[in-house]
Structure 1
């Protein structure tokens, strides 16, 4: 048998032709890629993905069934339960909980806490106010402490520091972990460190061998130092927990918090023009691609939703959107909580750029395109009709809310 490798011109042509029905089958599945901070990320939806604990994950993407058109119901996998009856120590985490749910940054932080806790320690999550999160168990939380009360509503850093001081006195954790973010964790962590008279490690992206490494020099240098008690971690500081579930036992404070007299008055949120929000900081992005035929309707829908507009490279090259609105590896890496892709087929560079988004919604005519496979929610149909129906639904919802308030 000859060892000469023969080319298949027809297969190569199909791989180049995005309109061919077999184009998706010819594309290699991307199992890992480098994130914006240089950390390798893994595709947890990949076929036969092996987790960090050696447990093989099932295929939830529908690829084995021939694409989204033939998807079956996902199999409910019972992950092994990690139970710690009597923790030797605690690793306390204060997630941002933007919108009442764990963000991707929060999950990275919990993954780092899980690594530092090992087999004897417990991860204690401290949450302020009411939340909507139901996946603490699969995020690595062993104990959950909810500090509820009107005194924690809005912008209340002084009251929250007082609450963290009470938690510190009761549980005496080995380490405190907070996200070094603009959503509150960065400021709260520095205020808390000043209250404890401790020097925190900031912008930490790696903890290894009793050393933590943080960014410095405008992100161009790394600073290594012994692991302190208080750590403010950056995005992608660790892999999120994915192969175990945890008890999430509720705990309470043994003391009653006194309401402090705030020196800062919260005047409420200020309305911000979504178009003025940088793409990298936007929480809700409404992105259009080659499948959008009515761009006036697209802009109208984005305004009705209050979303920041984005675009694929094709839409930018055709002049429908500005260059700074381009999303993808060749544009801007985004970390939105909700990313809506309208008429975007899902080129590999675009999928890399939205890899850190929490929820992806795809509107497309092609049920077999890569964006539909990546999306958490897919709507198959003509984009113009769907956008018009979306505007009507938003107006109806808001008018109903105004009537209920009246």
Structure 2
């Protein structure tokens, strides 16, 4: 027998190609380590259960654990190392947008930047106004959590929020303030706060390195590099979110009450907007239809009942069921919705690229093994028509109950 190690190029190609029908079968029984021709031990970095150099067990997100039965197995529970700051030498204050009462992807990027600025001696202080629904502050990189409650912070109240931030500034004296430079409140609040504390902020910051920050300028065509200021308004993807440590998120309280400001702004409440008039790139709730949708009239009624913006896959657009400006994907519009519902969409690579920045993805499909199901945070396996009809009935019942309670 020869001692020469034979390679199977086709098997290696199938093992690398996640979309190949035999990919899951090739993952079963795959070696985690082997000796190379030079005597060096090789390790499969993508193998299930691989332990990285930092001692953290990798989680398989490729769908390989589904096996031939196409059933999603339970994800392994990973106990991340605890990052503790007993006596902080200084604070890095972060004011997340908390759209919908939860941390968004922009907020998590901001916390990742704050964690890099805090180092091992500083603590990341998250300042949240009003009630929230977030339960994962610890895994997002929050060392100290300050929740400021009160009805004076409800609605659109930027002047009152600035008063709260000034109270936090007087008590904790953070080394840096970080706010998201976004349209959902952080950009305006950061500029108002900068004027109140007489600071010149760095805006649209996308990189912080060696005591300097780089911000977009000139309609995004130029970079302004300046010394790192005390107040930073950061853009999305300014840093990698915290993923390899968990933090204490210890509660903090203000030592003094926040003074009520004499507001010159009267909040008249939200204004109803037609979801069909919202641009795809700015929509926060999108329901997209694909080749699996057979009753498009029912699809339109469901989107109206849910109050969602309509989208579509390329197949649905090419077949004439939806206009071209509603196409989602790399060849259409890249979307950043907080909730994206894919109805009857199998999940071509171009479509998955277009929804890569969406926070939560819900898939409705008949095929439990399609790539959209693997990408989704919540999957519903079944006929799309029956599920859409059930959604319409559930929304109508909820609204009728709300009217009865109000009466």
Which piece of structure 1 moves more, 322-331 or 291-300? 322-331
What RMSD in Å do the two structures reach over aligned CA positions?
2.7
Q: C-alpha deviations, 1:346-384, integer Å up to 9, x for none?
A: 111111111111111000011000000111111111111
* Secondary structure, aligned partner of 2:70: helix
- How much does 1:208 deviate? 0.9
| Aligned pairs (5 A) from 1:198-209 | 198-209=199-210
Q: What residue number does 1:285 align with?
A: 286
Cα distance in 2, alignment partners of residues 46 and 392 from structure 1: 44
Q: Distance in 2 between matches of 1:299 and 1:327?
A: 17
Match of 1:249 in 2: 250
Aligned position for 2:267: 266
Partner SS, residue 304 of structure 2: helix
Change (3 A) 1:69 1:176: same
How far the C-alpha of 1:398 sits from its partner, in A, is: 1.4
Please name the residue that 1:82 is paired with.
83
Q: Does 1:123 align with 2:124?
A: yes
The residue number in structure 2 matching 1:161 is 162
Is contact 2:84–2:143 with CA below 8 Å preserved after alignment? Answer: yes
- Partner residue of 2:301? 300
Mapped to 1, the partners of 2:70 and 2:143 lie a distance apart of: 39
Deviation at 1:57, TM superposition (A): 2.2
**Shift of the alpha carbon at 1:21?**
5.1
Q: Secondary structure at the match of 2:56?
A: coil
> What residue in structure 2 maps to residue 190 of structure 1?
191
Partner residue in 1 for 2:65: 64
How big is the shift at 1:60? 5.1
Distance in structure 2 (CA, Å) of the matches to 1:139 and 1:98: 16
> Residue 342 of structure 1 corresponds to which residue in structure 2?
343
State which drifts further: 283-292 or 315-324.
315-324
The answer as to whether partners of 1:361 and 1:375 remain within 8 angstroms in 2 is yes
- Give, in whole Å, the separation in 2 of the partners of 1:361 and 1:52: 34
Question: How far 1:294 moved relative to its partner?
Answer: 1.0
In the other structure, the counterpart of 1:219 is 220
Equivalent residue for 2:39?
A: none
The answer to whether the 8 Å contact 1:216/1:222 transfers is yes
Displacement after TM superposition at 1:63 (Å) = 2.2
Instruction: Determine the C-alpha separation between the residues in 1 that align with 2:298 and 2:329.
Output: 23
Q: Larger Rg: 1 or 2?
A: 2
Distance (whole Å) between structure 1 residues aligned to residue 162 and residue 51 of structure 2: 40
**TM-score normalised by structure 1 residue count:** 0.88
What residue in structure 2 maps to residue 382 of structure 1? Answer: 383
What residue is the counterpart of 2:332 in the other structure? 331
Distance apart, 1:68 and its partner CA: 8.0
Q: Distance in 2 between matches of 1:212 and 1:67?
A: 49
Per the alignment, residue 406 of structure 2 pairs with 405
Distance 2:216 2:391 in 1: 42
Checking the alignment, whether the CA contact within 8 Å between 2:23 and 2:64 is kept in structure 1 is no
Alignment partner, residue 38 of structure 1: none
Q: Provide the rounded CA distance (Å) in 2 between the counterparts of 1:338 and 1:270.
A: 20
Give the TM-score taking structure 2 as reference length. 0.88
Structure 2 partner of 1:364: 365
* Distance (whole Å) between structure 1 residues aligned to residue 332 and residue 50 of structure 2: 28
Aligned-partner Cα distance in 2 for 1:134–1:366: 32
Structure 2: gaps of 5 or more residues: 28-45
Task: Report deviation, 1:94.
Answer: 0.2
Distance 2:273 2:311 in 1: 17
Contact 1:46/1:61 (<8 A) preserved: no
- Answer 1 or 2: higher relative contact order, Cα 8 Å, separation at least 6: 1
Query: Alignment length, in residue pairs?
Result: 384
SS across alignment from 2:164? helix
Residues 39-66 of structure 1, C-alpha deviations (whole Å, 9 max, x = no match): xxxxxx9966888967342225642232
Displacement of 1:401 in angstroms is 1.7
Measured in 2, the distance between the counterparts of 1:322 and 1:46 equals 42
- Offset, 1:69: 3.0
Counterpart in 2 of 1:42? Answer: none
Aligned residue in 2 for 1:30: none
Quickly say closer, same or farther: Cα 1:189–1:46, change in 2 above 3 A: farther
Q: 1:390 offset after TM fit, Å? A: 1.0
**CA distance 1:257–1:314, change in 2 (3 Å):** same
Give the SS at the match of 2:242: coil
